[in-house]
Amino acid sequence: MSKTNISAIELLEFIKSGKQPVLIDVREKIEFHTYNIGGINMPLARLADYIKDAEYNKNDEIVVVCKAGLRSRTAQVLLQQQGYTNVLNLTGGLIAIQKINNSL
């Protein structure tokens, strides 16, 4: 079985290395504009419609993020059901990223 989660430290190191996965933030717009780490803002309620029209390769590395990791886990399952094979959920969500950034 392939990896299904990515930690905040792993994601930050991945981005720092210059690699850019497809990053989908499934929080609502107001949450995204309050704090984000980039990527596409696609609220969970609209993700199913969005992904039907998106032109991602089914094997692209996709990282789904939300505040704590719950909505993004739902998004991960939804994407996997649509045939996406390399979807990672940010463990602990953006809260985990903020904790790391605040400790630097």
pLDDT in tens, the chain (104 residues): 468 999 999 999 998 998 888 999 999 999 999 999 999 999 999 999 999 888 889 999 999 999 999 999 999 999 999 999 999 999 999 999 999 988 87
pLDDT score for 31: 97
pTM listed for this prediction: 0.93
Hey, what are 38's tokens? 């980039």
- All domains of the chain, ordered by start, with CATH? 5-103 (3.40.250.10)
Alpha-carbon gap, residue 59 to 62, rounded angstroms? 9
